[in-house]
Amino acid sequence: MTQLTVHTRTTPAGPVIELSGELDNDSAPAVRTLLPRLTLQAGQQLVIDLTGITFCDSSGMTVLIAARNHALAAGADITLAAVPDRVSRMLHIIGLDQVFPTHPTAQAAAAAWIPPTTHPE
């Protein structure tokens, strides 16, 4: 068993959550608890970087959905980065590949982000 490590950082596009290890029933609550503490503005993008994920179960999928709900409630977008093949397959099987945009890296996700336009009043 590989314990989950969670790192967060902020970019101009919005927060990035970097996950490494096992995202499962034991570790999912820690990620869920983190979500309300993220500073996320309307028009930003929340990136969940899954580069180091070695295992993900249904609790992990539930956390990804909770993160999406958190982002949408803030008027922001969400994207997944560096999704491992096993996780990508799970997303496809349960239909979440239609819900989560993905990018090969967190840097690619940031590069694809389009800042909201400012409308003159």
Q: Let me know if residue 118 belongs to a domain.
A: no
Please give the pLDDT value at position 121: 55
- Between CA 86 and CA 90, with CA 101 as vertex, the angle to 5 degrees is 25
* Cα 67 to Cα 57: distance, rounded to the nearest angstrom: 16
- Give residue 26's identity as a one-letter amino acid code: D
Q: What is the pLDDT of residue 24?
A: 95
Task: Tell me the C-alpha distance between 99 and 12, whole Å.
Answer: 23
Residues of the chain whose pLDDT is less than 70? 1, 118-121
CATH number at residue 56: 3.30.750.24
Q: Provide the pLDDT for residue 118.
A: 56
pLDDT tens, position by position, 51-78: 999 999 999 999 999 999 999 999 999 9
pLDDT score for 114: 85
> How are beta strands 14-23 and 5-11 bridged, if at all?
antiparallel
What pLDDT is stored for residue 115 in this prediction? 81
Q: Is 102 a domain residue?
A: yes
| In-domain check, residue 120 | no
Query: Do the domain assignments include residue 117?
Result: no
Rounded to whole angstroms, how far apart are CA atoms 77 and 40? Answer: 10
The answer to whether the CB of 52 falls within 8 A of the CB of 81 is no
Task: Tell which residue, 7, 1, 30, 29, has the closest CA to residue 19.
Answer: 7
Give the structural domain span for 42. Answer: 5-109
**Number of domain units in the chain:** 1
Q: Is residue 71 part of a domain?
A: yes
The pTM assigned to this predicted structure is 0.91
